[in-house]
Amino acid sequence: MSVAAVALALALLVASGPRRPFQLGGGRTRRPVRMPAAAWLVTGLAVLMLVAPFGVVVAGAIVSLTVEVRRRRRHRQRRRAAEAAALEGALDVLVAELRIGAHPVAAFDTAATEVDGAVAAALRTVAARARMGADVAAGLRSVGERAALPAHWHRLAVCWQLAQSHGLAIATLMHTAQRDIVARERFSAQVAAGMAGARTTATVLAALPLLGVALGELIGAQPLRFLVSGGQWLLVAGVTLTCLGLAWSDRITGAVVE
């Protein structure tokens, strides 16, 4: 079995499509078509089955699944952070517009122009509902169901409903909600920074078996030859336990942060 071929197959499991956009005629930029991660996984496993024993294929599948799960977790975290930053900026504009007496529809439209992404689309949706006379609080709850931070949108909906029900100043309540969101995000960022050490430790511990295998190869014990031949069940067991350890540590640190 060729070690280079196995390495190439494993690389296919976690490879991604081109990241840079390419130019069309007229200077327009077109976003490249990217193959779904599941397609890369199936393709990589198919290639791996042609050049590697069954145990290596199973171990490669477990590693690939773990990598994909962790990649999606990081994507959700980045999405949450981006939405939180955009929402904080939009609330700054929204509160300022409401304080100078702007109509809620105009305030939401203005706030939407100052940000982009999912927050801008959500604010435009709420503004459209308000323009048609629908309940703004219900609109905030509706967009929150599809957002990365539904709890923040729910707080905004509660504040808006309180203002409408009891005749309170909307700008004051929305400013209170904004301060609460900022405080919560700052605390979450501090906790995430504090858990960075734990995540690093878990990653280092997961990589220790690789170091042991490398040392074995250096002294001539040939552990790789054993693991891909008669010791395939040990390879599968070791990879499974290592990936379960990473998943468990991610679950613990994720629960603390969230």
C-alpha to C-alpha distance for 61 and 55, rounded to whole angstroms: 10
**Are 169 and 148 in contact, with CB atoms under 8 Å apart?**
no
Q: What is the CB neighbour count within 10 angstroms for residue 97?
A: 19
pLDDT at 196: 85
What's this model's pTM, rounded to 2 decimal places? 0.70
From the list 108, 130, 134, the residue with the least C-alpha distance to 119 is 108
Give the least confident one: 3-7, 62-66, 164-168, 170-174.
3-7
C-alpha to C-alpha distance for 210 and 240, rounded to whole angstroms: 14
DSSP calls for 55-68? HHHHHHHHHHHHHH
The token pair that represents 200 in the structure block: 């690093």
**Are 59 and 228 in contact, with CB atoms under 8 Å apart?**
no
Side chain identity at residue 143, one-letter code: V
DSSP calls for 25-40? GGG-EEPPP---HHHH
| Model pLDDT for residues 169-200, shown as the tens digit of each residue | 888 998 998 899 899 989 988 888 888 888 88
pLDDT at 40: 67
The token pair that represents 46 in the structure block: 């198919």
Q: 3-class DSSP state for residue 92?
A: helix
Helix (H) or strand (E) holding 17: none
C-alpha to C-alpha distance for 155 and 180, rounded to whole angstroms: 9
pLDDT at 190: 87
Helix axes 232-257, 170-194, angle to 10 degrees: 140
Residues sharing a CB contact under 8 Å with residue 148, sequence separation 6 or more, in sequence order: 76, 79, 80, 83, 118
pLDDT at 34: 59
pLDDT at 57: 83
pLDDT at 37: 60
Give the domain ranges of the chain: 83-192, 195-258
Half-sphere exposure of 251 (CA within 13 A, CB side): 7
| Model pLDDT for residues 18-44, shown as the tens digit of each residue | 444 444 444 444 555 555 665 666 676
